[in-house]
């Protein structure tokens, strides 16, 4: 293709905003720079809010992930790039997802969006489709935006340093950052997007991932290889807060608490999020064998301490952007691959995050080299480590339970802890190798139908019955695979997953530790209230463009003396100070929550418009609520019997089958009661549809919003009639 290029006049950052949107239509090869209206800023703030608004405006009920009009939206927030405060490298990518069919977003760190913002843009919206793979190049030095031929590689990580060398000219390597997605993102529905930046301390490129929802798949379906930005933060004007000294002062207070607390608690600075492996295993929350079990003796072979002492290179502070002294972005410099197209090659590996390591324990594998290999290949292929791993775990269990045979799998027997077979399937999925791996690459929601069709008639079972049985342990909701926490014993986290608007991903509501480990919301009412407050405050982080870990994983010592320690309100106050000293405002915590609630409601409305969003889509599989099979029940039999006795259930002279059934029914009922209570808290009717007064309270009074809600009500009524 011929290079298409425009000149632009850079708008400097002022009080956290440039107020500019970069819009690219790949079909028309049109590049435009637009002003973001003040009303949009007021209503949706930035980050996820901007992504929601761009996707809502640009798409319709008929839009699918690969429709040309689908919008791939990217946005930082007003604090993105503020190096005086921890956790400011984050940005959000959102789109209509191939897995869920509605809006899904993922947050990711690194230098990419701070550089984009420095180059003059608060948001990017990509629409259309290019026939040949292209890149978008934002060049702050020349003040040009161009559409160019993509590099001739489907690698995501390999060769990244050469690309930086090629693109940087005389600029520093750290002036280049880019996003891309590998070949696996092209061939599956769970493609992730890598955010690649040059780390001068490690003298190599590193990558963070926007993992969830198949956003890399959307990008590759558009013929977009990636987006490159070249901008020098050294010559930029920073985030230009209204009061720089106040920002620096509050940032330094937060850093003091991080320094004081983290080394004695989670040790994120030393172990990254692998420290959660120990915590989750100790509390029966670590997924093992498709979430069947929550604890395994072998976990000691993959402990956070081993990662700290034997795997991670600790010479360098590892923040994913300057200013973050929590420094959880760990990695190793040399892991030798043993499988796949790069077997024998020694590579640096970023991470693994807890989620990636737990995706491997969920396959029955407790082996650090295997975890590192899985992490590297998933990033290189552009796979979401969660969806890829959970999908394979589901397939293994379906095989073990007799719903799949070697006739379906291309002759392969699927077993737990079978590294050879599991990695072979991963490599096949990346290239769409055969019918089975192509079906696997579409995720669990698709696989339930695929397996049921193939297995219909075997063992005398009808298609519908097979699907019903698969649903008991198919760990997806809304089309998204569950993230890596066993929720059977935490009603709060069941709701946290079930009511999450994008599907069961913990970033909307990570209540498992607060509920099950710290027991900070013991009553039903406290759990229900938490399911309103925490999703809103966590959403605020995503619209602000901030990392949540310095808030949720580093408890301020003074929080213990507050009425609700779980909210970590002393640190929340510091975030409020960041807001007001950056924007020059006098906002309150309630104002921040109101901003979140508006964005949250817009997400709900998109879900409803796309045909989802009602109560049936908030249901979760039985395995997320209770043990499904007897061996699961037996693994904690005394505990479950104790629970049944506390509920007043007679347990003497009854079979374990009967007791398991009683437990399952109790858990199912609890979840339905929780649903009713949380809907009332959120201002929804019993079908999960926002009430008119909720729309009004949050300013969604335009007829188009009312029409979406009216249509959803009609659908639920028709469903009842049917
Ligand atoms: S806590 Fe970790 S992920 Fe969050 S900003 Fe800091 S280094 Fe990045």
pLDDT digits (tens, 9 = 90+) for 295-346: 999 999 999 999 999 999 876 678 899 999 999 999 999 999 999 999 999 9
d(CA 374, CA 184): 13
pLDDT confidence bin for 535, thresholds 50/70/90: very high
| CA-nearest residue, atom 8 of ligand 1 | 320
Distance 719 CA to ligand 1 centre (A): 45
Is the CB of 328 inside a 6 Å radius of any atom of ligand 1? yes
Closest ligand 1 atom to residue 89 Cα is 5
Is the CB of 607 inside a 6 Å radius of any atom of ligand 1? no
Give yes or no for a contact between 287 and 497, defined as CB atoms under 8 angstroms apart.
no
**Sign of torsion, CA 162 168 173 177?**
negative
Is the CB of 109 inside a 6 Å radius of any atom of ligand 1? yes
Give yes or no for a contact between 266 and 338, defined as CB atoms under 8 angstroms apart.
no
pLDDT confidence bin for 2, thresholds 50/70/90: confident
Is the CB of 320 inside a 6 Å radius of any atom of ligand 1? yes
Is the CB of 324 inside a 6 Å radius of any atom of ligand 1? yes
pLDDT at 485 over 60: yes
pLDDT digits (tens, 9 = 90+) for 628-650: 999 999 999 999 999 999 999 99
Is the CB of 89 inside a 6 Å radius of any atom of ligand 1? yes
pLDDT at 705 over 60: yes
Distance 318 CA to ligand 1 centre (A): 8
Can you give the pLDDT at residue 718? Answer: 86
pLDDT at 651 over 80: yes
Closest ligand 1 atom to residue 553 Cα is 1
Can you give the pLDDT at residue 721? Answer: 46
Distance 608 CA to ligand 1 centre (A): 33
β-partners of residue 477 are 480
d(CA 250, CA 248): 6
Is the CB of 322 inside a 6 Å radius of any atom of ligand 1? no
Can you give the pLDDT at residue 433? Answer: 84
Residue among 82, 89, 265, 578 to mutate when testing ligand 1 (max atoms within 8 A of CB)? 89
Give yes or no for a contact between 113 and 46, defined as CB atoms under 8 angstroms apart.
no
| Mean pLDDT of the region 567-588 | 98
* Mean per-residue pLDDT over the chain, rounded: 96
Helix (H, G, I), strand (E, B) or coil at 456: coil
Distance 639 CA to ligand 1 centre (A): 37
Can you give the pLDDT at residue 237? Answer: 67
Residue among 201, 326, 546 to mutate when testing ligand 1 (max atoms within 8 A of CB)? 326
Can you give the pLDDT at residue 719? Answer: 79
Is the CB of 326 inside a 6 Å radius of any atom of ligand 1? yes
Can you give the pLDDT at residue 652? Answer: 95
Is the CB of 327 inside a 6 Å radius of any atom of ligand 1? yes
Tokens coding 398: 């379906």
Distance 79 CA to ligand 1 centre (A): 14
pLDDT at 623 over 50: yes
Distance 414 CA to ligand 1 centre (A): 36
The HSE-up count of residue 605 (CA atoms within 13 Å, CB side) is 29
Is the CB of 319 inside a 6 Å radius of any atom of ligand 1? yes
Collect contacts of 656-660 with beta carbons under 8 A, ≥24 apart: 656/630, 657/630, 659/633, 660/627, 660/630, 660/633
pLDDT at 574 over 80: yes
pLDDT digits (tens, 9 = 90+) for 156-213: 999 999 999 999 999 999 999 999 999 999 999 999 999 999 999 899 999 999 999 9
Closest ligand 1 atom to residue 547 Cα is 4
Residue among 76, 86, 108, 109 to mutate when testing ligand 1 (max atoms within 8 A of CB)? 109
| Pick from 686, 692, 697: nearest CA to 720 | 686
Closest ligand 1 atom to residue 548 Cα is 4
pLDDT digits (tens, 9 = 90+) for 427-479: 999 999 899 999 999 999 999 999 999 999 998 999 999 999 999 999 999 99
β-partners of residue 32 are 23
d(CA 410, CA 207): 34
Closest ligand 1 atom to residue 88 Cα is 5
Q: Which domains does the chain have, with CATH numbers?
A: 4-230 (3.60.9.10), 271-311+330-481 (1.10.569.10), 491-721 (1.10.599.10)
Can you give the pLDDT at residue 722? Answer: 41
Distance 354 CA to ligand 1 centre (A): 13
| Mean pLDDT of the region 411-422 | 97
Can you give the pLDDT at residue 236? Answer: 58
Backbone angles phi, psi at 176, to 5 degrees: -110, 135
Distance 553 CA to ligand 1 centre (A): 11
| Pick from 30, 94, 86: nearest CA to 57 | 94
Distance 120 CA to ligand 1 centre (A): 24
Closest ligand 1 atom to residue 90 Cα is 5
Distance 123 CA to ligand 1 centre (A): 21
Distance 112 CA to ligand 1 centre (A): 14
Residue among 319, 331, 546 to mutate when testing ligand 1 (max atoms within 8 A of CB)? 319
d(CA 452, CA 498): 24
| Mean pLDDT of the region 379-397 | 98
Helix (H, G, I), strand (E, B) or coil at 253: helix
| Mean pLDDT of the region 577-604 | 97
Q: What is the dihedral of CA 51, 52, 55, 59, to 10 degrees?
A: 180
Distance 324 CA to ligand 1 centre (A): 6
pLDDT at 1 over 80: no
pLDDT confidence bin for 234, thresholds 50/70/90: confident
pLDDT confidence bin for 3, thresholds 50/70/90: confident
Can you give the pLDDT at residue 291? Answer: 98
Regarding beta strands 103-108 and 91-96, do their DSSP bridges make them parallel or antiparallel, or are they unpaired? antiparallel
pTM flag (> 0.85): yes
| CA-nearest residue, atom 2 of ligand 1 | 328
Distance 90 CA to ligand 1 centre (A): 8
pLDDT digits (tens, 9 = 90+) for 78-100: 999 999 999 999 999 999 999 99
Distance 224 CA to ligand 1 centre (A): 27
| CA-nearest residue, atom 5 of ligand 1 | 87
Can you give the pLDDT at residue 84? Answer: 95
pLDDT digits (tens, 9 = 90+) for 244-264: 999 999 999 999 999 999 999
Distance 419 CA to ligand 1 centre (A): 31
DSSP secondary structure, 608-671, as one string: HHTT--SGGGG---GGGTS--SHHHHHHTHHHHHHHHHHTT---TT--HHHHHHHHHHHHHHHH
Is the CB of 87 inside a 6 Å radius of any atom of ligand 1? yes
d(CA 270, CA 316): 10
Distance 325 CA to ligand 1 centre (A): 8
């Amino acid at each position: 293709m011929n290079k298409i290029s425009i000149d632009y006049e850079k708008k400097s950052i002022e009080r956290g905003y440039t107020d500019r949107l970069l819009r690219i239509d790949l079909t028309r090869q049109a590049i435009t720079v637009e002003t973001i209206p003040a009303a949009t800023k007021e209503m949706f703030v930035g980050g996820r809010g901007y992504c929601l608004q761009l996707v809502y405006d640009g798409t319709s009920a008929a839009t699918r992930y690969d429709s040309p009009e689908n919008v791939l939206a990217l946005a930082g927030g007003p604090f993105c790039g503020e190096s005086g405060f921890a956790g400011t490298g984050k940005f959000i990518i959102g789109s209509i997802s191939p897995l869920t069919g509605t809006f899904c977003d993922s947050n990711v760190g690194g230098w990419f969006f701070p550089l984009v913002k420095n180059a003059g843009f608060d948001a990017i919206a990509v629409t259309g489709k290019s026939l040949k793979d292209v890149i978008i190049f934002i060049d702050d030095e020349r003040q040009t935006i161009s559409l160019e031929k993509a590099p001739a590689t489907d690698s995501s990580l390999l060769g990244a340093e050469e690309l930086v060398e090629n693109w940087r000219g005389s600029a520093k390597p750290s002036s280049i950052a880019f996003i891309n997605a590998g070949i696996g993102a092209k061939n599956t529905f769970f493609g992730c997007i890598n955010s690649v930046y040059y780390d001068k301390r490690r003298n190599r490129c590193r990558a963070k991932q926007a993992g969830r929802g198949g956003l890399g798949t959307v990008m590759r379906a558009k013929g977009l290889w990636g987006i490159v930005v070249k901008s020098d933060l050294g010559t930029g004007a920073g985030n230009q807060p209204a009061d720089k000294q106040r920002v620096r002062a509050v940032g330094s207070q937060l850093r003091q608490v991080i320094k004081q607390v983290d080394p004695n608690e989670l040790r994120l600075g030393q172990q990254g999020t692998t420290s959660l492996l120990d915590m989750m295993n100790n509390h029966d929350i670590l997924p093992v064998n498709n979430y069947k079990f929550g604890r395994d003796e072998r976990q000691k072979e993959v402990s956070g301490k081993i990662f700290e002492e034997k795997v991670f290179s600790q010479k360098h502070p590892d923040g994913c952007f300057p200013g973050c002294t929590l420094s959880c972005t760990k990695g190793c410099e040399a892991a030798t691959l043993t499988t796949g197209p790069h077997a024998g090659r020694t590579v640096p590996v970023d991470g693994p995050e807890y989620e990636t390591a737990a995706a491997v324990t969920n396959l029955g594998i407790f082996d650090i080299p295997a975890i590192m290999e899985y992490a590297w290949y998933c990033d290189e292929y552009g796979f979401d480590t969660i969806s890829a791993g959970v999908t394979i775990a589901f397939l293994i269990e379906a095989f073990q339970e007799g719903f799949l045979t070697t006739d379906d799998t291309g002759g392969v027997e699927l077993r737990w802890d079978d590294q050879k077979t599991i990695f072979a399937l991963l490599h096949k999925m990346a290239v769409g190798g055969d019918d089975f791996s192509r079906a696997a690459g579409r995720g669990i929601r698709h696989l339930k139908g695929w397996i049921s069709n193939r297995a219909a008639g075997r063992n005398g079972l009808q298609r519908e019955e097979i699907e019903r049985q698969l649903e008991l342990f198919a760990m997806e909701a809304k089309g998204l695979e569950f993230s890596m926490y066993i929720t059977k014993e935490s009603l709060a986290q069941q709701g946290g997953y079930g009511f999450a608007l994008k599907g069961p991903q913990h970033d909307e509501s990570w209540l498992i530790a607060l509920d099950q480990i710290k027991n900070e919301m013991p009553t039903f009412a406290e759990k229900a209230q938490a399911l309103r407050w925490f999703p809103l405050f966590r959403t605020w982080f995503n619209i602000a463009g901030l990392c949540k870990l310095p808030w949720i994983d580093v408890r301020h010592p003074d929080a213990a003396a507050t009425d609700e320690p779980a909210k970590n309100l002393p640190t929340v106050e510091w975030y409020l100070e960041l807001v007001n000293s950056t924007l020059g405002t006098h906002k309150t915590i309630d104002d921040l929550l109101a901003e979140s609630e508006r964005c949250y409601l817009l997400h709900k409305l998109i879900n409803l418009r796309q045909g989802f969003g009602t109560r049936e889509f908030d249901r979760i599989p039985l395995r997320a609520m209770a043990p499904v099979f007897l061996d699961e029940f037996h693994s904690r039999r005394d505990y479950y019997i104790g629970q049944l006795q506390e509920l007043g259930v007679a347990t003497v002279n009854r079979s374990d089958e009967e007791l398991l059934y009683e437990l399952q029914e109790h858990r199912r009922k609890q979840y339905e009661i929780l649903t009713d209570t949380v809907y009332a808290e959120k201002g929804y009717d019993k079908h999960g549809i926002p009430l008119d007064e909720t729309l009004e309270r949050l300013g969604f009074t335009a007829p188009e919003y009312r029409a979406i809600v009216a249509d959803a009500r009609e659908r639920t009524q028709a469903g009842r009639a049917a």
